[in-house]
Amino acid sequence: MRPLGFMVADKNMEASLLGLFGRDDWHRSMDCAPVDVVQDDVHVASGQADCGLYTRGNELLRPLAGQYEHMVIMVDAEWEGSPGAVLIRKQMAKHLISAGWANDRGLALVFEPEVDVWLWTRTDHTARALGWPNWSALEAALDADARWSASEAKPRRPKELAEWALRHQRKARSSLVYRRVAENVGLGRCTDPAFQRLRDALQRWFPPRSS
């Protein structure tokens, strides 16, 4: 049985996870034991998206129940007809239990509003992934267009802001952008609640080994 699996709503989430778990010694920054996570451990709910996972996540998860000790399901909070993050999280938790991951063996992660929030750090890594030469150049453009207040930890509309930044540089939006940020940004910089919940779960499930 594999230690850890993921069921995600789209390719951008998959790319973010592969970037994170592809880093050397990523577990040190997460303060947990090393865990082997490869591409086959990240399952994309193709054709389902966030709404599909919300309504039938248990059906999609159940065939994986005998393959993973722990499972994380990931969806965005914002989509047409969304009932909101709180209700989505409760429903995802029920799906995990129904499919076989009870007793804190599963984790429901809901990105508010979207996984695009993981893209936005005030670093050159984010700027370059979005096609800009450095953070100073992107920051100046953001300030000039009043797109992201310095008082806000994260932009309110991260997806639209990423599209705006890419469009200015005539760069196409792709999952590679998400992977590059996840591969390079210092994990200590990420203040997103979903990321914090993932780190907390990894610490519980895979406590750091004593030296």
Query: Which residues neighbour 124 within 8 Å (Cβ) at sequence distance 6 or greater?
Result: 134, 135
Residue 92 has pLDDT above 70, yes or no: yes
Quick one: what percent of the chain has pLDDT higher than 90? 86
Q: Which of 102-111, 130-139, 201-210 has the lowest mean pLDDT?
A: 201-210
Question: What pLDDT does 35 receive?
Answer: 96
Instruction: Say if residue 113 is preceded by a cis peptide, omega within 30 of 0.
Output: yes
- Angle 50-53-58 from CA coordinates, rounded to 5°: 170
Per-residue pLDDT of 31-84, as tens digits, reads 999 999 999 999 999 888 899 999 999 999 999 999 999 999 999 999 999 999
Instruction: Write down the pTM of the prediction.
Output: 0.93
Q: How far is CA 30 from CA 147, 186, 192, 196, 197, in A?
A: 31, 11, 14, 9, 11
Residue 211 has pLDDT above 80, yes or no: no
Domains and CATH numbers, the chain: 2-115+187-205 (3.40.1360), 117-178 (no CATH)
Per-residue pLDDT of 115-154, as tens digits, reads 999 999 999 999 999 999 999 999 999 998 888 988 888 9
